[in-house]
Amino acid sequence: MEALTNRVKPVERPDMSFWERMYLPAVFKGMAITLKHFFKKKVTIKYPEETRPFSPVFRGVQVLNRDEEGRERCTACGLCALACPAEAITMECAERKPGEEHLYREEKYAAKYEINMLRCIFCGLCEEACPKDAVYLTETFAPSNYQRKGFIYGKPELLIPDPKTDPEGFAKSKGNRIENPLGHGNEH
Ligand code: SF4
Ligand code: SF4
């Protein structure tokens, strides 16, 4: 085919030498690069046996807190939902009935409390906004799930264990907690 312009520059392709045709130098060069990496410090770790330490500013999945007597701290005031930039939190408020004082700390409580983990950006503003030390972020990942509805966390997923029935689980949940460096909301 005839060129439309005269800008075409023919490329000279020199013939391959004997060693180039053998491909051995290129193979050895590749192996040398691989060998060099054998003795370098590994960037991978043997998860789950080994885990990396979390960054001090890591914020993981939320939990709903109980007090030392096992009562739910949340009063369904809605401040966390209001502070949430991702609109990930919804709740329904209910009034505590006589005889339920051992279950709920205040006169009002969250009959339903949900966080949509697909929306959450783990900013921590819900924890900052809570006046009752009821919601906080932990050093735990949100586990994977095959269904979108599996990422809507309700009270069964969010509430930490009751210290009366599961003191070990309660202590462990407290241990996972990331202390707020500003000290907001942790003093109630
Ligand atoms: S961490 Fe941020 S985005 Fe997630 S629920 Fe709390 S306020 Fe919303
Ligand atoms: S978690 Fe805290 S801020 Fe959110 S509704 Fe409950 S008490 Fe209010």
Taking the CA of residue 119 as reference, the ligand 1 atom at the shortest distance is 3
Q: Is the pTM value of this prediction over 0.95?
A: no
- The answer to whether residue 49 sits within a structural domain is no
- The answer to whether residue 43 sits within a structural domain is no
- The answer to whether residue 153 sits within a structural domain is yes
User: Cα 149 to the chain's mean position, in Å?
Assistant: 17
Q: How many domains does the chain have?
A: 1
Distance (angstroms) between ligand 2 centre and the Cα of 149 equals 23
Q: Rounded CA gap, 167 and 93, in Å?
A: 28
Distance (angstroms) between ligand 2 centre and the Cα of 144 equals 26
Name the nearest CA neighbour of 188 among 31, 46, 73: 73
Q: Pocket of ligand 1, candidates 80, 126, 139: which has the most ligand atoms within 8 Å of its Cβ, to mutate?
A: 126
Provide the residue type at 148 as one letter: R
User: Cα 19 to the chain's mean position, in Å?
Assistant: 54
The residue contributing the CA closest to ligand 2 atom 8 is 77
Domain carrying residue 170: 62-176
- The answer to whether residue 144 sits within a structural domain is yes
The residue contributing the CA closest to ligand 1 atom 4 is 120
89 lines ligand 1 (CB under 6 A): yes
The CATH number of the domain where 166 resides is what? 3.30.70.3270
- The answer to whether residue 54 sits within a structural domain is no
Q: Can you give the pLDDT of all 188 residues of the chain as single tens digits?
A: 566 677 778 888 889 888 888 899 999 999 999 999 988 988 889 988 998 888 888 899 999 999 999 999 999 999 999 999 999 999 999 999 999 999 999 999 999 999 999 999 999 999 999 999 999 999 888 888 999 999 999 999 999 999 989 988 888 887 665 554 443 333 33
- The answer to whether residue 129 sits within a structural domain is yes
- The answer to whether residue 86 sits within a structural domain is yes
Distance (angstroms) between ligand 1 centre and the Cα of 119 equals 8
- The answer to whether residue 22 sits within a structural domain is no
